[in-house]
A and B are shown apart, each in its own frame.
Chain A
Amino acid sequence: DAKTTQPPSMDCAEGRAANLPCNHSTISGNEYVYWYRQIHSQGPQYIIHGLKNNETNEMASLIITEDRKSSTLILPHATLRDTAVYYCSPYNAGGTSYGKLTFGQGTILTVHP
């Protein structure tokens, strides 16, 4: 399974876009990239996932580079409630680790007024 690297922390001003990078240079062709976030004292919450195309939903956008070695989660207009730890995880849909997500240390995003 691919390993991921994320910056330990980032700051963002309220109302501005938050761009959270994730490096997954060893990702294989059938591994998806999943993003979750964890607000203090709560369970993690699914945000978005993708394979090779950019994706957008009501929460965020996911930009995956053409070589798939990295991706960026974009929160277009960050609010104070977006302050959380953000995790990216590879997901192998067809391998022996079927069903298994791997959460690293994540990025602590702090949105300030």
Chain B
Amino acid sequence: DAGVIQSPRHEVTEMGQEVTLRCKPISGHNSLFWYRQTMMRGLELLIYFNNNVPIDDSGMPEDRFSAKMPNASFSTLKIQPSEPRDSAVYFCASSPMSGLTYNEQFFGPGTRLTVL
């Protein structure tokens, strides 16, 4: 398996533009997580899905952020409009969640977003 795939790997955009980050989880995994990492705030969970359904979106910073998972093999994180403070590395992770006690998450390589 290729692991979790994220695209693009790097994104540079101007303030006010819409940004869409994409994630393909590992085949067979039924949980998907979106994280944001900055120097100031560390690694923060934004939202996660179980069987394509959003379970907890309490980490989504504001209405400018939205995430979807239309099927088991694809998810998007959209920022509209983007702001300079959104600059960060965004990670996607997936997990087989085989039973409540097991939560090994497999992380993708991340998307480095720069908003000018």
A99 touches B110 (CB 8 A): no
Q: How large is the interface on A (under 10, 10 to 19, 20 to 34, 35 or more residues)?
A: 20 to 34
CB closest chain-B residue, reference A93: B100
Asked whether any CB of chain A lies closer than 8 Å to the CB of B56, the reply is yes
* Residues A103 and B105 in contact in the complex (CB < 8 Å), given A43-B91, A43-B93: no
Interface residues of B: mostly helix, strand, loop or mixed?
A: strand
- Describe A's contact surface by its main secondary structure: loop
Stretch at the interface among B41-49, B63-71, B76-84: B41-49
Contact residue among B50, B56, B107 (Cβ-Cβ distance under 8 Å from A44)? B107
A101 touches B100 (CB 8 A): no
A99 with B91, Cβ < 8 A, contacts A42-B109, A93-B101 known: no
Do the beta carbons of B43 and A45 come within 8 Å of each other?
A: no
- Chain A residues, CB < 8 A from B109: 42-43
Q: Is the CB of B50 within 8 A of A99?
A: yes
Contact string, B37-60, partner A, CB cutoff 8 A, digits 1/0?
Answer: 000001111001010000110000
CB-based contact A103/B97 at 8 Å? no
- Are the C-beta atoms of B100 and A46 separated by less than 8 Å? no
Which chain A residue shows the least CB distance to B50?
A: A99
Indicate if the CB atoms of A101 and B105 lie closer than 8 Å.
Answer: yes
- Contact digits for B75-116, partner A, Cβ 8 Å, 1 yes 0 no: 000000000000000010101010011011111111000000
Are B56 and A99 in contact, CB atoms less than 8 angstroms apart? yes
The residue that A103 contacts in the complex, of B43, B50, B106, with Cβ under 8 A, is B43
A27 to B110, CA, bound (A): 30
Is A105 located at the chain interface by the 8 A CB criterion? Answer: yes
In the complex, the answer to whether B108 meets A43 with C-beta atoms within 8 Å is yes
In the bound assembly, the distance between CA atoms of A92 and B69 in angstroms comes to 24
Contacting residues, chain B, for A86 (C-beta < 8 A): none
**B residues with CB within 8 A of A:** 4, 31, 33, 42-45, 48, 50, 55-56, 91, 93, 95, 97, 100-101, 103-110
Q: 5 shortest A-B CB distances, which residue pairs? A: A43-B107, A103-B43, A93-B100, A46-B104, A93-B101
